[in-house]
Structure 1
Amino acid sequence: MSLFSVEETKDKWKQQVGKAKLVWGKLTEDELLATEGRQEKLAGLVQERYAVTRDEAEKQVKEFFSKN
């Protein structure tokens, strides 16, 4: 992944944080921004905060990204 596409991903993620906050209200905006749109980081947060399995957290994150 080029540096440009990494920055592009971060910018797109900043636009999606509001939607993510609606889905995962227990996560703070700062926590969501810190994931930088990385699915594995977000899944870890979802797993921890919502006490779900890793598979369930990854499923939720994949569904979110496929819709947005």
Structure 2
Amino acid sequence: MDWNRVEGNWKQVKGKIKEQWGRLTDDDLDEIAGKREQLEGKIQERYGIEKDLVRRDIDDWYGRQRWN
């Protein structure tokens, strides 16, 4: 997976992230700034989901995105 695409377009991607993980705040997203490990950690913190499941959820989400 090429996470650089997410990092490079973070401002545009933040809305899609919030649609998927609505418990993340704007402050969380600003702090994450496109960094996958930080995104994983915040999802774990907000949802109480184990790390492996969070990684799979992010991979699934990424695969569903239409990257132009």
Whether the TM-score (by the shorter chain) exceeds 0.5 is yes
Give the match for residue 63 of structure 2: 66
Instruction: Give, as a single letter, the amino acid of the residue that structure 1 aligns with 2:36.
Output: Q
Q: CA 1:11–1:48 in structure 2 vs 1: closer, same or farther (change >3 Å)?
A: same
Unaligned runs of 5+ in 2: none
Q: Which has the larger radius of gyration?
A: 1
Write out the 4+ residue segments of structure 1 that deviate beyond 4 Å after TM superposition: 8-11
**Alignment: residue pair count:** 62
Instruction: Give, as a single letter, the amino acid of the residue that structure 2 aligns with 1:49.
Output: R
Residue 55 (str. 1) matches residue 59 (str. 2): no
Query: What is the root-mean-square deviation in Å for CA atoms of aligned residues?
Result: 1.9
Q: Percent identity?
A: 34
TM-score (norm: length of structure 1):
0.75
Q: Higher helix proportion, which one?
A: 1
